[in-house]
A and B are shown apart, each in its own frame.
Chain A
């Protein structure tokens, strides 16, 4: 046996096979699937259920191709078929086009066809393919799924009448996030995707991460709309303030057809002012303050060797995940609030006092990449701080609703005193950013000097688990960065068993971090995420200050209002607590 294994590793060269793709002779890797081979050769075969990060199920049957082998010609799905020597593959014969048409017509016959009122209108795969295949009307009619819309969750709306049962959301929730909030229920035509026992979403284990929304090809899953609340607030006579999360500037442009990775910070601020926000503050400042507190906390725990590893808590989906599934390990979670919650707290206290307004006369709207932030602001610890959360997608819609020509907007700056930030705050928007920002500060403080090396490239990139070992002040510090909750679960299991080798862990629920959040523009894929990540890193490089503890505004707030880093007042306003929320 061992010998066999060795042979396999010694000989990694793949013997290519010859196939005919629409009669064109090509040499291909026999380990790739036909759909990917076709894609490389300029043919994009339509599909619903396949997704780059999910296990293939070949359920939607839209990606069918005709395959001829030894005189046998059959229809098969290209997502699940590998090539073989001499195989003839046809991707768009009349028989296939008709098969795809029937497929779509069957889906349309059981679909809520109120497209104009669907949140995914013009961004829906079913709509797009139906239009490409010029389907005018479904030949099939009969009963239609007609179930109530589940809007019980504060973050996610489920409309099963728009569900095509591709199962992407189920695989995302179960296989990638390991939350198991939703699954297939019932059988045959009655099949439906829902939480167990037909519970509403708010009674399910859902952590509000919105990764299901990101992968939904239709409008069956969408963020809970908040735009109307904001429009109402604009006419309430109260002072409107917006804060924008670090990642929004790298993604908002996509809502307006701009290339992914286009940095639109200045236009975003201008747009918010045009909408009617009196002040536009930067959540990045909150991020800098988070780092000051968290680095203080880490150094303290590290020195005392207590409650390690310390886990970052900027991600509200991860917090709920931890509270539900790992409530014995909550002592490992940093007590620092998320940047959103820190800035919200400061706006309603420090800033309100500064301008002589009562907190209730200020309406704070958070522009977030995240459906879980809608949940976070409703946590009892944070009530009366932020008032509404809009996702990136929703802000895009609000800007359009206000008839603002986004691309023509001039750039403008955030307002002060809560608008100044460092590069460390910016990189919060991507996986590895919180850790990197914390290390920039913790390393300086532990070494007692300002270090030149501030980029921690080992923990950057799209790998879902990245680890590194550093030496700070002569001591070894082992760190780990994960994104997606499935990876988080592995680390938490380690901690539970007392086997975690790490001192400091960053957890983000979404793939890629906040740039891949549940409220970000769709589609999101690895290629797009890398561009967004690049935009964030470029912004970091451009910044005058790149370490949180060097942020002049932050230091001023500490001096004027908060007192010591990690001090009593800081604790009251900038920290929080967690509680056991066993899923029942």
Chain B
């Protein structure tokens, strides 16, 4: 067996990582904030330091992120847009720290990272994702080397001992899953599920773009453990950068003999990976739909059994793991199972990378040990709700999850406690909702999502989600009746109990949890025809109060000429003409318009 150091110039990677250099996070989130332009500017500035694009460290709120290591001192900068880059370049030229944009000198200095424990995200944002040398220098392939010291059956036992649970959401023990596949003979597949489709979830994309080798290393280890010789990475066309990165990574690994025949010179250890691009259907994250899609069929889930371990891709035994699961594997085996199981809770070990989004001060990917309180994630890492607003709820687990409130914030992050509270871990999306959001409207949003993302195969999900969405739509328009809550519950429970796949079974969660936790908001909409959060336009009423000075500014911006009145006299809004655009409310300088 060959050693990694025989194949790769690990020393070169080490040198690259240790030397003074500038990095810019150019994953999708960075690029959308203009990081590519910042990178270009830094590269062409004629600085003596090496300038390199890296992946995303997770602090989306402060993109573009630039790190500068100068004279051995690391500085992490945020918000370095193209226009601010000049200032940074100036500081670098003067060998100074640019305090204005400085987030900290190490991650631990930064509030966002203080509670974090980065295992999956370890490399993200700090190495060039497509440098094999840097990857190896930062501990890459140690897991593979350690795995190869074991017999496949011992390896599976080790994975079982780590109690690693599937990070796709279901939380099934990965070691068990591998054991099922290892017991099968003949042609078999390892599939990496990178079809992240939840609104507000992007942790898989980030890892695929920032640290592709860690996922592939996980797959190579899985191949060794289970004897599968074929691998498939399935992701969506909406992730063009992830696709490009994975494609390049696969070619590089094949070049170095880390994929293909006799990996690391081990006779009979053959494993190859292809990339499959889905058209971007949410349901294709469901494993049986994913299998259909991989085979070029319509992404329809099918009933189980037979499970993929018996009948998967091309009817062959198949093991499907989430990107996060596979990225964990390489790290677990590198650090050793004994170390790993010290992290997390009794039942669930390790960490979870959470996508924190919504009305929170600091958005991004937060990786914390399992068991961390939700409050710590939202208030410590995330900084709590945006300025001037109050926390109302957090939607965990995307459209399949549920809303949790203030009362649930001391729950530990773990599969079962979340489920018992009416939400799910899912892939780890957390959407923070503040008091400016209407919960009925939130439920409507998620049913609109499932209405269009249902695959259309089974009746409850296809027809039922549409009807729930329509009822919620009526309620937000003030057309709801008291019967509607009963009808919603009836439908939601029916869809939950009768749907074919987990998309359908969990689709009613946002409806059920908002009804359970925010009954007063539903009541206000239905009985009082009022939206307490002032979100549902049709329920709003604009009234001019006695503070009106009769300046006429409101009347001038009203697009429907609904406001009338004499100059210097109190104006009136003709309600029948008002389309609730809010122009008058925004322009009034005297707080003379009440929005109810």
Contacts and interface: CB of A to CB of B under 8 A. Distances in A.
Contacts of B454: 187-189
Given A106-B459, A183-B298, A184-B456, A58 B303 contact: yes
A191 B470 CA distance: 17
A187 B451 CA distance: 9
B511 to A, nearest CB: 15
**Most chain A Cβ neighbours within 10 Å, of B281, B283, B456, B491:** B456
Contact of A189 (B460, B466, B487, B500): B466
Given A75-B498, A99-B494, A102-B494, A142 B458 contact: no
A409 interface: no
B463 A143 contact: no
Interface in A76-101: 77, 80, 99
B459 A142 contact: no
B456 A103 contact: no
Interface in B464-479: 464-467, 470
Given A59-B459, A60-B458, A60-B459, A142 B497 contact: no
A155 interface: no
Contacts of A164: 459
Interface in A155-209: 164-165, 167, 183-184, 186-191
Contacts of A64: 498
B455 A187 contact: yes
Nearest to B454: A188
A99 B498 contact: yes
Contact of B460 (A74, A103, A143): A103
Nearest to A62: B459
B298 A184 contact: yes
A274 interface: no
Contacts of B491: 102, 140
Given A143-B470, A190-B452, A103 B498 contact: yes
Contacts of A103: 459-460, 494, 498
Contacts of A400: none
Interface in A87-132: 99, 102-103, 106-107, 109-110
Contacts of A184: 298, 300, 456-457
Secondary structure class of chain A's binding surface, majority of residues: loop
Nearest to A167: B457
Contacts of B457: 57, 59, 165, 167, 184, 191
A103 B491 CA distance: 10
Given A61-B459, A189-B462, A77 B303 contact: yes
Chain B interface residue number, banded: 20 to 34
Contacts of B464: 102, 106
Given A139-B487, A142-B466, A189 B498 contact: no
Contacts of B500: 58-59, 61, 77
A139 B456 CA distance: 21
Nearest to B474: A142
B47 interface: no
Contacts of A191: 455-457, 462
B462 A143 contact: no
A143 B463 CA distance: 10
Contacts of B506: none
A190 B450 CA distance: 12
B470 A188 contact: no
A191 B457 CA distance: 8
Contacts of A109: 463, 467
Nearest to A100: B498
Interface residues of A, number: 35
Interface string A140-155: 1011000000000000
B499 A165 contact: no
Contacts of A134: none
A183 B457 CA distance: 12
B276 interface: no
B451 to A, nearest CB: 5
Contacts of B487: 139-140
B451 A188 contact: yes
A102 B462 contact: no
Contacts of B110: none
A184 B300 CA distance: 10
B309 to A, nearest CB: 17
A186 B300 CA distance: 12
A37 B203 CA distance: 47
B105 interface: no
A99 B497 contact: yes
A183 B292 CA distance: 15
Interface in B293-318: 298, 300, 302-303
Interface string B472-504: 000000000000000100110010011110000
Nearest to B186: A1
B16 interface: no
A423 B460 CA distance: 52
B453 interface: yes
B185 interface: yes
A140 B462 contact: no
A1 B459 CA distance: 43
B467 A106 contact: yes
Contact of B281 (A58, A75, A140, A187): A187
A348 B464 CA distance: 57
A302 to B, nearest CB: 41
A103 B497 CA distance: 12
A80 B456 contact: no
A123 to B, nearest CB: 21
A245 to B, nearest CB: 37
A72 to B, nearest CB: 13
Nearest to B486: A139
B313 to A, nearest CB: 18
Contacts of A107: 459, 463
Given A110-B463, A142-B470, A187 B498 contact: no
A288 B55 CA distance: 78
B490 to A, nearest CB: 7
Contacts of A167: 457
Given A1-B185, A103-B459, A188 B452 contact: yes
Interface string A489-507: 0000000000000000000
Contacts of B303: 56-58, 77, 80
Interface in B212-230: none
Contacts of B458: 58-61
Interface string A381-394: 00000000000000
A142 B463 CA distance: 10
Contacts of A60: 458-459
Contacts of A62: 459
Contacts of A99: 494, 497-498
A514 B452 CA distance: 42
Contacts of B459: 59-62, 103, 106-107, 164-165
B67 to A, nearest CB: 42
Interface in B136-195: 185
B453 A187 contact: yes
A189 B499 contact: no
Nearest to B497: A75
A140 B467 contact: yes
Contacts of B466: 110, 142-143, 188-189
A165 B467 contact: no
A450 B466 CA distance: 70
Contacts of A189: 451-452, 454, 456, 462-463, 465-466
Nearest to A77: B303
A201 to B, nearest CB: 20
> 3 nearest interchain CB pairs?
A191-B456, A106-B463, A142-B470
16 contacts: A59-B457, A59-B500, A61-B458, A61-B460, A62-B459, A75-B498, A80-B303, A99-B497, A103-B494, A106-B459, A109-B467, A187-B283, A187-B456, A188-B462, A188-B466, A190-B452
Given A59-B500, A187-B453, 12 more contacts: A57-B457, A58-B458, A99-B494, A103-B498, A107-B459, A140-B463, A187-B455, A188-B465, A189-B463, A191-B456, A191-B457, A191-B462
